[in-house]
Amino acid sequence: MNWQLTRRPYAGSISERIRRSGLRKGSHVIKHAQARRGKGRTRYLGFIILSLLPIISLFIIFTVLPAAAAVVMSLFDYSLIGPSRPFVGIGNFRALFQDPLFLKSLWNTIRFVCMTVPLNILVSLPVALGLNRIRFLRSFFRACYYIPTVTSLAAVSLVWLYLYDPATGLINALLRTIGLPTQSWLGNASLALPSIVLVYVWQDLGYNVVIFLAALQGLPATYYEAAQIDGAGSWQLFRYITLPLLKPTMGMVVILTMISAFKVFTPVHIMTQGGPMNSTKLLVYYIYENAFSFLKMGYASAMAVMLFGMILLLTLVQLVFLRTD
């Protein structure tokens, strides 16, 4: 076949071709051809504006502006019932550090986070390692560990309230049958916070199990084969191969678990209302009390700004983490 015959002759410039094609001006084919050529110019601006405007507005109205308002409110003595709302500058923040209850709730929150995160990792990682090892019943077991995560924390808190009951609860009944002393789990100021930690970790665990399991399944098998040929034992495999390869996942999991632990509210509100003796008064619970029970909204906003600062710091740490790994 003669290639010269099959080759198309020069068709002329775009505008010439449009003219010759007999298509009407403004036809979608022409628009499309023009859109493909004019890379620098914006096409379909009407559609873009129509679709983004409502969405961006909702973000601005319900997140950006309220966040800015919270920062502004933290500088005012803003009470819902007071007649005037004077500007106090950093007065609210100064008052916070003289408020023993705030300091207590900050300390409780830090203790809560410091108990929750290691406990969560120390349980979820071994569970994921176990799930990664087995073949039979793997998704059944994974489901068992994940189920508390999908249920509402409010319902779960009710169930644990009954389990923890000093007289009629199951936990003390079990302790009694094996001859151990019973405890007033939520009524004892030194036990109440760890008891809530336990409920929270139990509920939140499955999420990290699934993340760790997925990461473990993605690790290349060749490393393990090579190390096994070199005679490495299970512990050595874990210590020198699994753990270093899991480092990025670990960083992400730690930060995400920390951030959500900083914001815990539901179990405190349902199980202890901050008691006994303020031992379970966590930051968000104290913010809630100040804003919606005492109506001291400026003061509560100052606390919320501090919480935001801490979470922002953690998020930035996470970003740095992700960049280096």
Residues 46-75 that bind other proteins (CB under 8 A): 47-48, 51-52, 54-56, 58-59, 61-67, 69-70, 73
Residue 7 or 39 with smaller CB distance to other proteins: 39
Examine residue 125 and tell whether it contacts other proteins (CB under 8 A). no
276: preceding bond cis by omega (within 30 degrees): yes
Question: Where does residue 43 fall: left (phi above 0), alpha (psi -120 to 50 degrees), or beta otherwise?
Answer: beta
Examine residue 165 and tell whether it contacts other proteins (CB under 8 A). yes
Taking CB under 8 A as the binding criterion, the range among 1-9, 82-90, 156-164, 237-245 that sits at the site for other proteins is: 156-164
Residue ranges in 176-215 that form contacts with other proteins under rule CB under 8 A: 176-177, 202, 205-207, 210-211, 214
Q: Choose which of 28, 97, 100, 231 interacts with other proteins (CB under 8 A).
A: 28
- Per the CB < 8 A criterion, the answer to whether 205 and 117 are in contact is no
Largest CA distance in the chain: 99
Taking CB under 8 A as the binding criterion, the range among 15-23, 39-47, 99-107, 240-248 that sits at the site for other proteins is: 39-47
Examine residue 90 and tell whether it contacts other proteins (CB under 8 A). no
Least separation in angstroms between residue 200's CB and other proteins is 13
Examine residue 122 and tell whether it contacts other proteins (CB under 8 A). no
Least separation in angstroms between residue 23's CB and other proteins is 12
What are the distances in angstroms from CA 56 to CA 18, 42, 60, 61, 145?
Answer: 39, 19, 6, 9, 38
- Per the CB < 8 A criterion, the answer to whether 267 and 196 are in contact is yes
d(CA 40, CA 76): 48
- Per the CB < 8 A criterion, the answer to whether 209 and 142 are in contact is yes
User: Count of CB atoms within 10 A of residue 233's CB?
Assistant: 10
Residue ranges in 210-239 that form contacts with other proteins under rule CB under 8 A: 210-211, 214, 234
Examine residue 158 and tell whether it contacts other proteins (CB under 8 A). yes
Residue ranges in 254-313 that form contacts with other proteins under rule CB under 8 A: 256, 259-260, 263, 265-266, 269-270, 273, 284, 287-288, 291-292, 297, 300-301, 304-305, 307-308, 311-312
Least separation in angstroms between residue 217's CB and other proteins is 9
Please choose, from the candidates 186, 205, 198, the residue with its C-alpha nearest in 3D space to the C-alpha of residue 279.
Answer: 186
- How many Cα atoms sit within 13 Å of 142 on the Cβ side? 19
Q: Choose which of 102, 108, 121, 148 interacts with other proteins (CB under 8 A).
A: 148
Least separation in angstroms between residue 202's CB and other proteins is 7
Question: Where does residue 24 fall: left (phi above 0), alpha (psi -120 to 50 degrees), or beta otherwise?
Answer: beta
Residue 150 or 226 with smaller CB distance to other proteins: 150
Residue 9 or 40 with smaller CB distance to other proteins: 40
113 contact partners, CB below 8 Å, separation of at least 6: 258, 261, 262
d(CA 290, CA 296): 5
Token readout for 6 is 């099959």
Residue 93 or 146 with smaller CB distance to other proteins: 146
